[in-house]
Amino acid sequence: MCRWMMGATCSSSRRDFLKKCLTGAAVLGAGGGAGLLAAAEQREAFAKSRVVIARDAMLRGAGTTVDSRRILSLLDRALQAIFDRDNPIETWKKLVRPGETVGLKVNALGGPGFCSNPLVEAICERLQQAGIKANDIVVWDRDSDELERAGFHVSMGGNRVQCYGTDRVDYEQELVTRGSVGSRLSKILTQRCNLLINVPVLKDHDGAGVTIALKNMYGVIHNPNKYHPNGCNPYIADLNMLPEIRSKMRLTICDATTAAYEGGPGYKPQYSWKNNALIVSQDPVALDYTGWQIIDRKRAENGLKTLEGDGRAPHYIATAADRQHRLGTNDPGKIAVVEV
């Protein structure tokens, strides 16, 4: 799904729009029943939010750790499926431009059990091949110690990829407000990054139901503890409406290589599974909805109630999709799940 269809601003939306008009016109111009059918299919495809699930059963080979080359390949497959491109570098060039500073908002809270380091290294490799300088990439979360604990190497300065927490640069002094939320934003978001790639983990959450793309933005603010009542609803949706977040968000690449169906958000080995997958979308609501279904299926396999049955359905996903927010869609009829 294109960002302009999600109601978000996007620097390339006009160009995309013109392209789609031209494509549509060409299809219509072809005439005949087949042409009209193709046009309808194309319109339908554009009307749906695309969520790509890229899976590799051999991601870890015979071992337990993720193979760096295979995850790069998995990432390429996922991105190519999202953007309909054959060349992985060209895919990334569609997303970023040289000179931009790219923030990779990871989720370090789960510690080494949910280490996203191999995925992040793969993303960084492709970003640099797409023309982004290493030191214009910032891998970040709220706290440097948490990043270290999760297996990232904290580094500031030099020509390397940057990796640090907001604790190193502070939050803005001024509050930003939206609906139920009033918070100070990380200066990494407001001052350091031009654009954001969200790199959450697929996890169960004892309060929110699930924590995937939308909830990962809790790591952007100084007071996430204030927004956990009522299953984080409507706080998560309101937070993601902040222009500073919405305008910079380009893509979500969810690390679902190791996922948790219960006991989250901390890592509990007994409730996690090697899922060996990435989930990628430009629609965070559709991605979260899809992730929720995956977690519920895994819960059923393990004899657990659904999150709804457990009284923890992530209602914030529906709020994020409602008329006041329009951050994406949670309507399964409008989500195209593509497995590659």
Partner 1 sequence: MARDLDAQEGVRNPVDNAAEGESPLIRCKRGLFSCALDRRSFLNCALASGAALCVCEFARPLVAAASWAGPQKQDDSRFTVEAKFYQKLQNKKIKCKLCPRECTVGDRERGYCGVRENRGGTYYTLVHSRVSAAHIDPIEKKPLFHYLPGTLAFSLATAGCNVNCKFCQNWDISQVRPEQVPAEYAPPKLVAELAKQHDCPTIAYTYSEPVVFSEYLMDAADAGHEAGIRSVVVSNGYMQEEALRTAYGKMDAVKIDLKAFTESYYKDVVVGELKPVLDALVTLRKMNKWTEIVYLVVPTLNDGDSEFRGLARWIKTNVGVDVPVHFTQFHPEYLLKNLPITPVPTLERAKAIADAEGLHYAYIGNVPGHPAQNTYCPKCPRMLVERVGFTASRMLIRKGSCPFCGQPIPGVWHA
Query: Which residues bind to partner 1, rule: CB under 8 A?
Result: 109, 111, 167-171, 175, 177, 182, 206-207, 222-223, 225-226, 228-229, 263-266, 268
Q: Which is nearer to partner 1, 228 or 326 (CB)?
A: 228
Q: Which is nearer to partner 1, 77 or 178 (CB)?
A: 178
Q: What is the DSSP string of 48-102?
A: SEEEEEEE-TTTTTTSSSPPHHHHHHHHHHHHHHHHT-S-HHHHHHHH--TT--E
Assess contact for 318 and 247: CB atoms under 8 A: no
Q: State in angstroms the smallest separation of the CB of 128 from partner 1.
A: 28
Q: State in angstroms the smallest separation of the CB of 262 from partner 1.
A: 9
Assess contact for 197 and 250: CB atoms under 8 A: yes
Phi, psi of 53 (to 5 degrees): -110, 110
Q: Which is nearer to partner 1, 108 or 132 (CB)?
A: 108
Q: State in angstroms the smallest separation of the CB of 167 from partner 1.
A: 6
Q: What is the dihedral of CA 237, 244, 281, 273, to 10 degrees?
A: -70
Q: Which is nearer to partner 1, 181 or 321 (CB)?
A: 181
Q: State in angstroms the smallest separation of the CB of 336 from partner 1.
A: 34
Assess contact for 134 and 159: CB atoms under 8 A: yes
Bridge partners for 280 per DSSP: 52, 253
Q: State in angstroms the smallest separation of the CB of 115 from partner 1.
A: 15
Q: Which is nearer to partner 1, 3 or 142 (CB)?
A: 142
